[in-house]
Amino acid sequence: MTVIIIEDEKPAARLLQRKLQRLGIDAGTMLHSVEEAISWFKSNTHPSLIFLDIQLSDGLSFEIFEAVQINSAVIFTTAYDEYALRAFKLNSIDYLLKPIDEDDLETAIKKYKERNQNLQQPVLHLDLVKQMLTGNKKEYRKRFTIKTGQHLKMVTIEETECFYSENKGTYLHTTDNRDYLMDITLEQLEAELDPAVFYRVSRKFIINMKAIKDIVVYSNSRLKIQLNTYNSDEIIVSRERVNDFRQWLG
């Protein structure tokens, strides 16, 4: 049984090495970067088992597997929380959350030995793992195409100060104080906008955080928002939304 450790934090790698030694396992090779690992795998016999940190100093460890065909079993060592990793637990031998508990380490080794004895090689779906940890992020709208007469105009999110409804229509208000009619509802917009940037303060308004000029305490524990250019109507944060709005701000 040959074992290597791929970990960019050298103290953490040495600590794991000592814990493995107490279990009678010699992990004599320690690699600390994607580049170093790729070079090593290209010129050495691959080990039985790899203890693999996901985030290395020069990139994600998935890049190693993209550059070199590796059939070794893998136990992840990571600081990512357990909930995010549950989805691919069965696609590798195991994963160990940092700081690594010795009982968990021993259990992972036993699991590897049992699978190895039964000749059941784990199927490591790296694309799934990579998606779970680095992708899987919703893409939000970055621009809108607005029809003005016989022309189409592109308006980016950065140029957008707010969206509002009026007379059953939905409008986009820009940072240069212009209004454009849209063929979409505020409900649809709310699902397509980045919630870190836009907030629906009322049934009528969705505002851009960067466009806020002032926030004034209003009657009945409400808040009044002043934007940089929009001043056609009062923008009021209802009492029910005030606490959520404050959390959104920061």
pLDDT by residue (tens digit) across 140-199? 888 999 988 888 999 999 999 999 999 989 999 999 999 999 999 999 898 889 888 999
Confidence check: pLDDT of 103 > 70: yes
17-44: average pLDDT: 94
Q: Is 45:70 a contact under the CB 8 Å cutoff?
A: no
Rounded-to-integer distance, Cα 73 and Cα 50, Å: 6
The helix/strand/coil state of 205 is strand
Domains and CATH numbers, the chain: 3-134 (3.40.50.2300), 143-249 (2.40.50.1020)
Q: Nearest CA to 123 among 52, 50, 73, 85? A: 73
Q: Give the residue-averaged pLDDT of 81-104.
A: 63
pLDDT at residue number 91: 42
> What per-residue confidence (pLDDT) applies to 23?
93
Q: Residue 94: pLDDT above 80?
A: no
SS3 (DSSP) at 165: strand
CB atoms inside a 10 Å sphere around CB 196: 9
Q: How confident is the model at residue 39 (pLDDT cuts 50, 70, 90)?
A: very high
The widest CA-to-CA distance across the chain, in whole angstroms, is 77
Burial of 203 (C-beta count, 10 Å sphere; 0-12/13-18/19+): exposed
Residue 13 has a pLDDT of 92
CB 202 within 8 A of CB 242: no
Whether 125 shows a pLDDT value over 60: the answer reads: no
CA 69 vs CA 53, 214, 249: distances in Å:
18, 57, 47
Place of tokens 């957008």: 160
pLDDT band at 40 (very low <50, low <70, confident <90, very high): very high
Percent of the chain residues past pLDDT 90, beyond the cut: 44
